Amino acid sequence: MARVCEVCGKKPSVGNKVSHANNKTKRIWYPNLQKFRVVNEKTGTIKRMKVCTRCLRSGFVKKAV
């Protein structure tokens, strides 16, 4: 479970790369994951997490100072 957001569960999505000649080959889109030190709101402890940038921007996690 390396490339999965620990907050929302976002993971790589699979689709086709389509050439100009309409040839299709498989490709993968990876989420924009960053490693942050995050404060757990309930216990106040600090934990290192892989979080997608959307969760960070939306305020689902709070960065540790």
Structurally, the chain folds into a number of domains equal to 1
CB 57 within 8 A of CB 51: no
For residue 49, tell me if it sits in a domain.
yes
For residue 65, tell me if it sits in a domain.
no
Q: What is the pTM of this model?
A: 0.81
27: CATH: 2.30.170
pLDDT digits (tens, 9 = 90+) for 6-36: 999 999 999 999 999 999 999 999 999 999 9
Predicted pLDDT of residue 1: 58
For residue 5, tell me if it sits in a domain.
no
CB 50 within 8 A of CB 5: yes
Predicted pLDDT of residue 17: 98
Helix or strand or coil: residue 25? Answer: strand
